[in-house]
Structures are given as C-alpha cells and as structure tokens.
Amino acid sequence: MLPAAVLEQARDELMDWQGSSLSVMEVSHRSPPYQGLAHKAEADLRDLLKVPAEYEVLFLQGGATGQFAAVPMNLLRKKTRVSYLDTGIWSQKAIAEARHYAAVIEVASGHSSGYRDIPPEFEWQHDEASAYLHYTSNETIGGVQFQHIPDALGIPLVCDMSSDLLSRPLDLSRFGLIYAGAQKNMGPSGITVVIVRGDLLGSAIRQTPSIFNYGIQAAEKSMLNTPPTYAWYLLGLVLEWLKRQGGLEAIAGVNHQKADILYQAIDRSSLFHNPIAHTCRSRMNVPFLIKDTALESSFLSEAKQHGLVHLEGHRSVGGFRASIYNAMPLEGVNALVDFMVEFERRYG
C-alpha cells in the first residue's frame, strides 16, 4: 500500500506540479525545481534515519536485485571472499548473485530449522578475511525478521533492508552499507535506496557498469543518467508523509501494535497458525497457514468480498501472508482479524 494521502496529493498535482502547468513527469531532472525535489527527498531521508554525515545516500535503479550484484562489485576491494547469512529465499538470491564475483562463505543457514528461526549468533562461522558480511533484515516471503543488529566482528556489515527500511529507527553507524527497493515502505517500484559509508567507495572492480558504481553515482548525485523521476517524486511524498506521522519512532510503535494484534489472533486460533519462532517473527510480513488446506480458496475468496486482498502466500511457500507495511492502517489489521475470527466460527 501507499498512504492514501500520498496518492491523493499525487493525483491533485498530476497535471500541474508546483504551478508549472506541467506534470512532474514532464520536467527535466536537471531543472532547478526537480533538483530541489531530489535534494529535499535526500534531506528528509537523512533526517528520518539520522544518517551520519560520512554516509552517501544514493537513489538508483535495478531494484534490490540489481544491488545483489552491485554490492560485491563495489565492496570486494581486492579481496576474494564475502560472507553471507542464509535466512531464506531473499538471502539465497543475494548469495547466488554474489557467487558471480567472489567465493561466498555461508556463515550460517536457517535451513536446518526449515527457515523458521535465525541461527544463533554464537554458531556463525565468521570469516575475518571476507570483504563484508551480508544479511537480510526481513525475509519478506518467510516472515523472519531480525529484531537486533548482528555483530560483523570488524568487517563491514551489509544489509538488504528492502522490506523493513523506514519501519523502525535504525543505528546506521553499525553498517557499511544498506540497500532497499522502495516498493514496500518508501514508495513505488523503480527506485532503490543505497546508503553507504564514504570510505567504502572508489574501489569497484573494473567491470562494474557506471550506473552501478557507487563512487560514480555519489559524485553524480545519483544522476549519472536519467533517474526514475516520478518514482523519486513519490518517494519524496512518502517521506514527507512519514515525517507527518511523527517519524520512525512513531511508525515503529504503530507497526508493533499491528503485528501484535495479528500474531495474538493467530496464536489464539485453532484453525490458523504461524510457524516462525517468536523471537524473529516479522512485523512487516505475517505468513499464516490454515489447518485444513481445503479451506484455502474459500478463505481467499471470502476475504476478497470483505475488501481484504493480496492475502495469498508467496507462490513458493503457499498459505497466506498479510503484509502490513507502514501505509497499512491499524483498521486494516483489525478488519483482517475480525474476518479471521468470523471465518473460524463458521468453518473451524
């Protein structure tokens, strides 16, 4: 979801942005008004996340999937090994891509627990010769989320935060680099945020395409080529909306409350269940299963009649999944819980 207030503002400004009688889509990215928009979005993001001055904020294309390749290309820095934690499907995709550029050390894997838990940190096989340690803070499909920042023991920590960046406060100083596709909590698809510590720039491998070269993009203020101007504009509106909500502390409080309501309802139910260890249950994506799988299609079709959509689990895991990103209001979660209770009363 995008916040309704953002969509309404975008609608109202669609044909006439800031009195220009042009759509923001029709404005040159090099023009002073657009440069102002881009500058404001970066300033708001820095403000919300309290980004330390020595970090660069980049707005790129190619999604988080592009970053799966860009991260090793930029951060290998003459080393031959990189370390990755495997907590599920998205970590595995990042690992597969990194293997094109370096030897990947898998420091630990959730495989033995069926990816229902994060392997305890004392079991991780740290490798101090690795260029960095990569993990996925929220496994969007599996519903497994870190509730703390792990220790990389001296090597740069890199994180794919595609599905939980801006959902809670963050101590960026613990990271060498973080990245996230915008389309969960930050805006529409088509724009990707990378925040990288300045000292890690400038050593990309020779073959790195310029558009994926963080040093070049930082020098060009993310405008080496034409950026996704409309996505950047919408991202800026979402950031302004987030500030109006009270920033990350405030939104984290709401996100906590939404997740608690939903997990408590699932745990009380004898028809639905969530298999993930309590300590790492995601506050963004809540997967749940139904005991009698023959009821799955009735659940989805009846939910749709109640205006509750996109509840299918990812095609690779089945079941159901409620994604409750920042823009999902508390009422949306309450409506789902009421529907689940009613469904169980009739079919349970």
17 catalytic? Reply is no
Q: Cα 74 to the chain's mean position, in Å?
A: 21
CA count, 13 A, side-chain hemisphere, 286: 24
Interface segment toward ligand PLP; rule CB under 6 A; list 159-167, 168-176, 226-234, 258-266 = 159-167
Interface segment toward ligand PLP; rule CB under 6 A; list 20-28, 43-51, 156-164, 258-266 = 156-164
CB 120 within 8 Å of CB 295: no
Closer residue to ligand PLP (CB): 140 or 167? 140
Query: Smallest distance from the beta carbon of 160 to ligand PLP, in angstroms?
Result: 5
CB 194 within 8 Å of CB 58: yes
160 catalytic? Reply is yes
Which residues of the chain form beta strands (DSSP E)?
55-60, 81-86, 103-109, 133-136, 138-139, 144-145, 157-160, 177-181, 192-197, 272-273, 285-290, 320-323
Query: Smallest distance from the beta carbon of 191 to ligand PLP, in angstroms?
Result: 9
Residue from 92, 136, 185, 208 touching ligand PLP (CB under 6 A): that is 136
Closer residue to ligand PLP (CB): 142 or 265? 142
Is 90 one of the binding residues for ligand PLP (CB under 6 A)? Answer: yes
Q: Choose, from 160, 164, 232, 241, the residue flagged as catalytic.
A: 160
Burial of 58 (0-12, 13-18, 19+ CB in 10 A): buried
Closer residue to ligand PLP (CB): 284 or 290? 284
Contact partners, residue 344, CB within 8 Å, separation at least 6: 269, 270, 271, 272
What is the 3-state composition of the chain as percent helix, strand, coil, each rounded to the nearest 5?
45, 15, 40
Residue from 9, 65, 298, 334 touching ligand PLP (CB under 6 A): that is 65
Please work out the total of residues on this chain that contact ligand PLP, with binding judged by CB under 6 A: 10
Is 86 one of the binding residues for ligand PLP (CB under 6 A)? Answer: no
Residue nearest to ligand PLP (CB): 63
Helix (H) or strand (E) holding 334: helix 330-347
Distance set, CA 197 to CA 56, 291, 334 (Å): 6, 47, 40
Is 160 one of the binding residues for ligand PLP (CB under 6 A)? Answer: yes
Is 162 one of the binding residues for ligand PLP (CB under 6 A)? Answer: yes
232 catalytic? Reply is no
Q: Choose, from 44, 86, 164, 184, the residue flagged as catalytic.
A: 184
CB 114 within 8 Å of CB 144: no
Is 63 one of the binding residues for ligand PLP (CB under 6 A)? Answer: yes
Query: Smallest distance from the beta carbon of 94 to ligand PLP, in angstroms?
Result: 7
List the Cα angle 82/86/90 in 5-degree steps.
100
Is 167 one of the binding residues for ligand PLP (CB under 6 A)? Answer: no
Closer residue to ligand PLP (CB): 64 or 85? 64
Residue 85 dihedral angles phi and psi, to the nearest 5°: -100, 135
Residue from 27, 38, 64, 204 touching ligand PLP (CB under 6 A): that is 64
What torsion do the CA atoms of 47, 193, 246, 140 make, to the nearest 10 degrees?
-150
Residue 332 dihedral angles phi and psi, to the nearest 5°: -65, -40
Query: Smallest distance from the beta carbon of 183 to ligand PLP, in angstroms?
Result: 6
In the region spanning residues 234 to 263, those forming contacts with ligand PLP, defined by CB under 6 A, are: none
Interface segment toward ligand PLP; rule CB under 6 A; list 28-36, 59-67, 270-278, 323-331 = 59-67
Query: Smallest distance from the beta carbon of 222 to ligand PLP, in angstroms?
Result: 16
Q: Choose, from 17, 44, 86, 90, the residue flagged as catalytic.
A: 90
Residues recognised as catalytic: 90, 160, 184
Site residues, ligand PLP (CB under 6 A): 63-65, 90, 136, 140, 160, 162-163, 181
